Structure 1
Amino acid sequence: MDRARLFALGTACLGAVALALSPTAHAQNLVWEENFDGPGIDGGTWTYDVGTGCQIGLCGWGNAELQYYTSRPENARIENGRLVIEARRETFEGSPFTSARLKTEGRLHFKYGTLEARIRTPEVGNGLWPAYWMLGVVGVWPERGEIDIMEAGSAAAIAEGMANRRIGGAVHWDYNGHKADYSRDYDSPTDLHTDFRVYRMTWDPEFIRMYIDDVEYFAFDISDPDGASVHEFHQQHYLLLNVAVGGTYTGILSPDGITAPLPGRMEVDYIRLYQDHPESELYIGGDAAIPAGRFGVFTEQPGLAGSLDFGADANLYLWNNLTPIDATPYEGGNVMAFRANAGEWFGLGIIGDVRNMSAYAGGALRFHMRTTTPATFKIGINTSFGDSWVDFVDGGPNYGLVRDGNWHEVTIPFDAFYDLDLHAVRQMFMVVADPHGAPVEFAIDNVYYESP
């Protein structure tokens, strides 16, 4: 949650984000709800971000946060029919605090609707940063878009003695190649952590609006996607809940500056999603699991449980330093065959819609490859946990690859990938290599997932 809030919008963009107050949205159809009434957190709905963010190249989660996120019950659990996210002062994996960040990525996404949650925030001052927010499913931040429905504990609120009475709503997006931000705050007459409040967002093709107990505190005009460069807010988003400790939003970057009472608990009683707009979309991963068998990523073999449709729901992207070359396919009429020049990294990725490949856990990624290069390269998959790679080092484990210029079948068990979330696969196949001393040529074909 990057909180840079001083982006200077041009006149045209300011017109697109002007406030426009209106009554709370009319009643809609309840399409999904989470009441936290099971014995534990439902893995079919929620997954976790774990660590400090360094594992995905985003130390401090991009905001200089001080906590280590875990999936332990000490930090996230169900108590008395409520989700509890608890920040604790404890040394863990080199960090001075722990907490949890839950998300529905790959499990629940939606476009347009009314989302409401009954939440009690922790006593935030000084240093806790609870948040109830959303990220776009597609793209890289900020191009994917971010909608912050509720967050508390800002540096300005601390400075003004309002830490436990002020919440904020915000959106972040890409405005013609620059990160753009728009935010509004609400000051409560009483401390917010003393009771539950209902936080509601209404989202349609015209506006994103936010409310606390039916009082509107934020409105953002998205009715002109081209003029305001707000296409991000016309695509599916997923939900996140977390309590951060410290960070740029709070203005506290040292463990010694955290004076908020710890453990600090955010409690969530329920979350409900209503929809009725004809352009609304709803993705529930449990209802969209790909059947077991063989799933075609780049193959023309028959008898598949499903396959990517290039040009419709998937595309091959050449990231850097790859020139197509002629090669005879292993099967069918298509092949990925490329030449990479010396001295530069190379890479490619097959990117598609998010897919629930959970039926393939315990299975393998299979493909055919031919090359003579001794260069080290990586094969990867991108999921809700980020990129996961398997190294191919000449003389090391090569999973069936022989570098003799002939076609060989490569089989990589999914267990060989580190931190893989097959419930939410975004890039089903990637190849990357660091700069190397000689040109590299390779061909890849017949790429598919196989269940156990």
Structure 2
Amino acid sequence: MNLVRFASSALLASLFGAVCAPSPAAAQTLVWQDEFNGPAIDRNRWTYDVGDGCQIGLCGWGNSELQYYTSRPENARIENGRLVIEARREAFGSRGFTSARLKTEGRLHFKYGTLEARIKVPDLRNGLWPAYWMLGTVGNWPARGEIDLMEMGSAAAIGAGLTNRRVGAAVHWDYRGSQADYGRDYDSASDLAGGFHVYRMTWDPQFIRVSVDGRQFFEFAISDIEGASLHEFHQQHFLLLNLAVGGSYTGILSNAGISAPLPGRMEIDYIRLYQNPGSELYTGAEAPAGKFGVYTERGDMNARLNYGRDAELYLWNNLTPIAAPAYEGSQSMAFRANAGAWYGLGVYTGYRNLSRFGNGRLKFHMRTTATNSFKIGLNSSFGDSWIVFAPGGQQYGLVRDGRWHEVSIPFSAFHDLDLRALKQMFMLAADPPGSNVDVFVDNVYYQDY
């Protein structure tokens, strides 16, 4: 990968360490692991990205990839004590290949530690792209940060005749508003495909280091947080595992260009995370059942968001607060949207595990006389999921007569929703209205029945 342009060579020298043999790790504690010994993939540890990326505005997952990711056992399963991710040549959805991408988002996030995985990749020649990597939990890419612990099948490796022997590691981040990248490759004397190898990352406040079979080939200094804009690498990340087909990394952008033997299997024997005292670990504790208050002052909630501490109400566009009596308590969402511009808002919470509410409902009170279409949404590890309120369509209890009405939406009505990893627990948005619109929302909560 090309290194981003920085202001001085001195800064570069401070960021990128020399390649050397790894130093012995300090005593650490095993805090998380998956040995893949169960009968099926543990959904308390892993979830999936599904589709071709177009559903979240990233067709080809932002990399011109050719596969459609599924959660089917044909593409991801436990077999003989190993996680198998299998890429197949088959028409599915909009694509000519299928595969799988698993992630621990909303299940495991961590900052600092030693992460070790024993992985076997298939014959990659040419067009398969296995990856074992991490994404930050805060912000939008590249400002969320990315750490690639193992990637193979690059266009450069193909060109050098090293497709099955070259492994790469890299980091990506935001440097003063621009994407920054740094990567290093290791060329093995023998094929890495077809056999198991141990890929290890050590991450502390000073360095990110990566090794394969005990040989360190990547080192990146992260202690100059302000000077090099490295905040991303001092926040929690989650893990991802996938086997992509084609894409910009491989340089192969057409189905006909894929010559790798298929089906191709990426196998993971284990993943283990070790941490020191003081390192951060998130494993997604469940919220209490019953009623969870999102925006309400009622006293019968089992738990609730605390604005200014663990939640914020963001006005995205074209909403002006107006004075109006609340449905309950002293505060409500009371806004005016002007004609000719879209409007929207969202309640941001970070990650919340509301998986106990899967058979329940999103409830809120709303009053309006507006007849335009709008939508109510939630954001989780799968992206945005919306329910459209169109004139003449399903209103879930809303009557547009200017009086308060309870709206009750079953969570089953939302598509692609991961209640274990909610990041925005209430969103409202609409296309530009033809005339000014007043919208009032109050008493927003989740109910588990």
**TM-score bin (small chain):** over 0.9
Say which of 7, 13, 18 aligns to 2:16: 18
Determine the structure 2 residue equivalent to 1:90.
Answer: 90
**Who is 2:296 aligned against?**
299
Shift of the 294–54 alpha-carbon distance from structure 1 to 2, 3 Å rule, reads same
- Separation of aligned partners in 2, 1:196 and 1:371: 61
CA distance in 1, matches of 2:14, 2:232: 14
Query: 1:259 & 1:270 partners in 2: Cα distance?
Result: 29
Unaligned 5+ runs, structure 1: none
Deviations 1:291-312 (A, max 9, x none): 2110011111112221111111
Residue 277 of structure 1, CA deviation? 4.1
Confirm whether residue 310 of structure 1 aligns to residue 331 of structure 2. Answer: no
Alpha carbons of structure 1 residues 344 and 232: separation in structure 2 relative to 1, 3 Å: same
Compute the displacement of 1:110 (Å): 0.8
Residue 332 of structure 1: aligned partner: 329
Once residues 336 and 224 of structure 2 are traced to their aligned partners in structure 1, the CA distance between those partners, rounded to angstroms, is 43
**Residues 381 and 421 in structure 2, CA contact (< 8 A), matched pair in contact too:** yes
Any idea what SS the aligned residue of 1:158 has? helix
Q: Distance in 2 between matches of 1:219 and 1:381?
A: 39
Could you tell me which residue of structure 2 aligns to residue 241 of structure 1?
241
Counterparts in 2 of 1:86-235, with a 5 A limit? 86-235=86-235
| 2:415 counterpart residue number | 418
Determine which of 322, 338, 343 is the counterpart of 2:340.
343
User: Could you tell me whether the CA contact under 8 Å between 1:101 and 1:240 is conserved in 2?
Assistant: yes
What TM-score comes out, normalization by structure 2 length? 0.97
Amino acid at match of 2:272: R
Counterpart for residue 356 of structure 1: 353
Taking the aligned partners of 2:333 and 2:169, their CA distance within structure 1 comes to 46
For 2:257 and 2:6, how far apart are their aligned partners in 1? 33
In the aligned structure 1, how far is the partner of 2:187 from the partner of 2:314? 47
| Whole-angstrom distance in 2 between the partners of 1:109 and 1:44 | 13
- 1:444 equivalent to 2:441? Answer yes
Counterparts of 1:51-90 in structure 2, within 5 Å, are 51-90=51-90
Is residue 320 of structure 1 aligned with residue 330 of structure 2? no
What SS does structure 1 have at the residue aligned with 2:193? helix
Alignment partner of 1:313: what SS?
A: coil
The 8 Å contact of residues 321 and 334 in structure 2, kept in 1 or not, is answered as: yes
Deviations 1:117-144 (A, max 9, x none): 0001111121000000011112211111
Cα distance in 2, alignment partners of residues 226 and 205 from structure 1 = 13
CA displacement at 1:5 relative to structure 2: 3.6
Q: Report the Cα distance in structure 1 between the residues aligned to 2:410 and 2:205, rounded to whole angstroms.
A: 43
SS of 1:226's equivalent in the other structure is: coil
**Secondary structure in structure 1 of the residue aligned to 2:256:** helix
Q: Verify: 1:282 aligned to 2:281, yes or no.
A: yes
User: Corresponding residue for 1:407?
Assistant: 404
Letter of the 1:290 partner, please give it.
Answer: A
TM-score (norm 1): 0.97
Distance (Å, rounded) in 2 between the aligned partners of 1:300 and 1:421:
26
Read off the aligned partner of 1:19 and give its amino acid letter.
Answer: G
Q: How much does 1:221 deviate?
A: 1.1
Among the aligned pairs, what percent are the same residue?
66
Q: Which amino acid aligns with 1:87?
A: A
Query: What SS does the corresponding residue of 1:14 show, helix, strand or coil?
Result: helix
Q: Is the 8 A contact 2:52 2:94 kept in 1?
A: no
Displacement, 1:16? 4.3
List gaps (5 residues or longer) in structure 2.
none
Aligned-partner SS, 1:193 = coil
Task: Find the aligned partners of 1:193 and 1:154 in 2 and give their Cα distance.
Answer: 14
Deviations 1:328-348 (A, max 9, x none): 111112111111111111111
What is the number of residues matched between the two proteins? Answer: 446
Partner deviation per Cα, 1:134-184 (whole Å, 9 max, x = no partner):
111122111111111000000000000011000110111111111111111
Cα RMSD (Å) of the superposition? Answer: 1.2
SS at 1:210's partner residue?
strand
Native 8 Å contact 1:112 1:277 kept in 2? no
Q: Which is further off, 360-369 or 330-339?
A: 330-339
Maintained 8 Å contact 2:165/2:192: yes
Distance across 2 between alignment mates of 1:303 and 1:221? 50
1:231, distance to aligned residue in structure 2 (A): 0.9
Question: What letter is aligned with 1:102?
Answer: L
- Cα separation, 1, equivalents of 2:123 and 2:190: 12
Cα shift readout 1:81-106 (whole Å, capped 9, x = no counterpart): 00010111111113111100001111
Q: Hey, what's the Cα distance between the residues in 2 that align with 1:79 and 1:16?
A: 45
